[in-house]
Chains A and B, each alone.
Chain A
């Protein structure tokens, strides 16, 4: 089946540093989504990307939908302690039902004050 490879698995950074993480797949996706999950909570949508090549920002977050439709990256600028959490990419299962998202395994972000 379709799989998303998300990297890195974990990151330990200093407050104020920029962060970059990405997702790749051998399959095409119609839509790429980036979520953040805090411990004990459900994922919260950060950015949604709907068109190949699209670059979208949400505050200090920027994400891009790869031109080949097989990858996406998320950048966080000037990290702060509350950025700590697990970041997941997700892609719409091309040809599947609209609700069928494929999730990466997550990037665990730790920020040292």
Chain B
């Protein structure tokens, strides 16, 4: 009965490279949320997806960031041409629908060098 699985746990990228973060929701969950956490800060909402649809991307930076949740496979958060300011912990959460008790994964810690 696995929880929300995120990989990799740690990711190091040089400036200008691409970062791909993966999130496999809990079994039976079709709603996925991505949040970003800077050091000493709370989590900031980025995007909410259902299978094959972006429901709310109001927290996504307009450039370089994109997210998808295909019919098959994990949700992907993609950051192109990373910069030092992208260094953060990125958390994914999933829920079966209208329930607010959604479950977070353990996060991917991105370091841009």
Which residues of A line the B interface, CB within 8 A? 4, 6, 31, 33, 40-45, 48, 50, 88, 90, 92-93, 96-106
Q: For the complex, what is the distance from the CA of A31 to the CA of B42, rounded to whole Å?
A: 17
| Residue B113 lies at the interface, judged by CB distance under 8 Å to chain A | no
Q: For the complex, what is the distance from the CA of A100 to the CA of B56, rounded to whole Å?
A: 8
Q: How many A-B residue pairs have CB under 8 A?
A: 67
A100 touching B42 by the CB < 8 A rule? Answer: no
A42 touching B101 by the CB < 8 A rule? Answer: no
| Residue B20 lies at the interface, judged by CB distance under 8 Å to chain A | no
List the B side residues contacting A99 at CB < 8 Å: 31, 33, 45, 48, 55-56, 95, 102
Q: For the complex, what is the distance from the CA of A48 to the CA of B91, rounded to whole Å?
A: 19
A42's closest neighbor in chain B, by CB? B104
List the B side residues contacting A33 at CB < 8 Å: 100
B58 touching A45 by the CB < 8 A rule? Answer: no
B48 touching A97 by the CB < 8 A rule? Answer: yes
Which residues of B line the A interface, CB within 8 A? 4, 31, 33, 35, 40-45, 48, 55-56, 58-59, 91, 93, 95, 98, 100-107
List the B side residues contacting A31 at CB < 8 Å: 100
- With A43-B91, A97-B55 given, is the CB distance from A104 to B100 under 8 Å? no
Q: For the complex, what is the distance from the CA of A96 to the CA of B45, rounded to whole Å?
A: 11
B41 touching A100 by the CB < 8 A rule? Answer: no
- With A88-B42, A100-B45, A105-B40 given, is the CB distance from A44 to B104 under 8 Å? yes
What would be 6 A-B contacts, judged by CB atoms less than 8 Å apart? Answer: A33-B100, A42-B93, A45-B103, A101-B43, A103-B43, A103-B44
List the B side residues contacting A50 at CB < 8 Å: 100
A93 to chain B, nearest CB (A): 8
Chain A CB count within 10 A is highest, among B56, B100, B104, for B100
A4 to chain B, nearest CB (A): 8
- With A42-B104, A42-B106 given, is the CB distance from A98 to B98 under 8 Å? yes
B1 to chain A, nearest CB (A): 16
Q: For the complex, what is the distance from the CA of A99 to the CA of B106, rounded to whole Å?
A: 18
Q: For the complex, what is the distance from the CA of A50 to the CA of B100, rounded to whole Å?
A: 9
